[in-house]
Amino acid sequence: MENESSTPKRRRFYKPYIFCNDPKKGPFKNLEKVFHIVNVPDLHEELKRWQKLALANDQSVYDEGYAREDLIDFCDEFLRLTEALYIIHAKHAAKFGKMQGNKNALKRTQEMNQPILLNEEEISKPEIVIRSFVNTFSYRYTKREMQDLLEAVITYDGHKRVYKGTLLLFYDCILCLLDVTYIFVSKELPAI
């Protein structure tokens, strides 16, 4: 008979924090985790795919013209926001020596994540994009828009193939970026 003390005691009804929902980690650590999971171009591509599926789904909240227009504008601004957040992440990581590893791999990562939607001023001052996003979209609205978007992707029943295995991981990454955005503004974005 096996010794009962050799099996670890299970902690019941406990779930660790989802990778981005641990407020103790702080916004920079959460950005690091998101951009470790997904790079900016892949994030853009996936969000655009979600948007197309939502607009093509005839059983989503986007059946009215104004809802489609709001979704398109929201997604456009969110794509810009992701670039601004990556710039802040990269500056913070470089400042505190967190960009370690193979120099060629780091260079490729930086080249891959170069902003394409921001102008020179926004690249040098990404907080402009963050403040503009927060001034345009309330926190409550962004959460609801992302829930509606996720639901539209899940319920999509058209001709396009949808891999649903990573939907929640991508959704968590987006929520994390949104949380970090509003944290930065509420705590007055530090100078990087």
If you average pLDDT over each of 8-12, 104-108, 118-122, which comes out highest? 118-122
Q: Which two tokens stand for residue 138?
A: 């309330």
What is residue 185's DSSP assignment? H
Residue 78, pLDDT > 60, answer: yes
Mean pLDDT of 67-78: 97
CA distance 70 to 68: 5
SS (H, E, C) 99-124: CCCCHHHHHHHHHHCCCCCCCHHHHH
CA distance 93 to 90: 5
Residue 113, pLDDT > 50, answer: yes
Angle, vertex CA 41, rays to CA 156 and CA 25, nearest 5: 90
pLDDT digit string, tens, across residues 130-178 = 999 999 999 999 999 999 999 999 999 989 888 888 899 999 999 999 9
What is residue 10's DSSP assignment? P
Look at the block and give the residue holding tokens 């670039």.
83
CA distance 168 to 131: 27
pLDDT of residue 18: 59
- Number of Cα atoms under 13 Å in the Cβ half of residue 48: 10
Q: Which two tokens stand for residue 119?
A: 């102008």
What is residue 19's DSSP assignment? T
Q: Where are the beta strands (DSSP E) in 31-162?
A: none
